[in-house]
Structure 1
């Protein structure tokens, strides 16, 4: 049970960071300031923050015209869910 709570905490933190970075990047885009690189969002999504990135995309209407994000992030959500279930079963 301790492993599950550790994984849940990790997923919660990763998704919170993903959501926050989407918010910050949208603000920076409006201000025409230096932006957060897209590879940062992809890395975070791969590492378990895909749901936060996706919710941030929808909430802030950011990167929703990028096909790679509108298709890739939902695919990573599915992969993250499968990975999380696998990790909790095997560890």
Structure 2
């Protein structure tokens, strides 16, 4: 395994432990996966555009995708596609976005952060139930937002 995939492996272990210990809902892992997939696709689109001279994906968009949790997909995109690996200024900002995201994830494991997350999820669940009829999509969403010890 390449060394640059080690942070992704750590994230998978951390998210699994976080769910099983009751710190975060399963939705957080699902969100990381979806945003990572989108990030990878953005890198693929930008690489293709760079080769053909078409309209490029802005670096700010790539950085934003990393900040909101897509950094695993960004790492895979950078390494597999050999894209944005040589530009030092881009890499520095990318790693700052990665550290900010991991810092936020760590914050969710503090007593204050955990309380805020639980409150936000509880309010979101109540709003969802009051706004939408019960259907499969709502049921799945509510199941994913449950904390393990709430089940």
> So what's the TM-score if we normalise by structure 2?
0.53
Q: Does 1:64 align with 2:76?
A: no
Please give the root-mean-square deviation of Cα atoms over the aligned residues, in Å: 1.9
Match runs of 1:1-80 below 5 Å = 1=19, 3-80=24-101
Aligned length: 91
> In terms of mean alpha carbon deviation, does 53-62 or 1-10 score higher?
1-10
8 A contact 1:54–1:73 mirrored in 2: no
| Structure 1: 5+ residue stretches without partners | none
Q: Which structure is larger by alpha-carbon Rg, 1 or 2?
A: 2
Q: Which runs of 5+ in 2 are unaligned?
A: 1-18, 118-151
Higher helix proportion, which one? 1
Stretch deviating more after TM superposition (70-79 or 11-20): 70-79
Q: Assess if the C-alpha contact under 8 Å between 2:63 and 2:97 holds in 1.
A: no
- TM-score, normalised with respect to structure 1: 0.82
Conserved 8 A contact 1:54-1:74: no
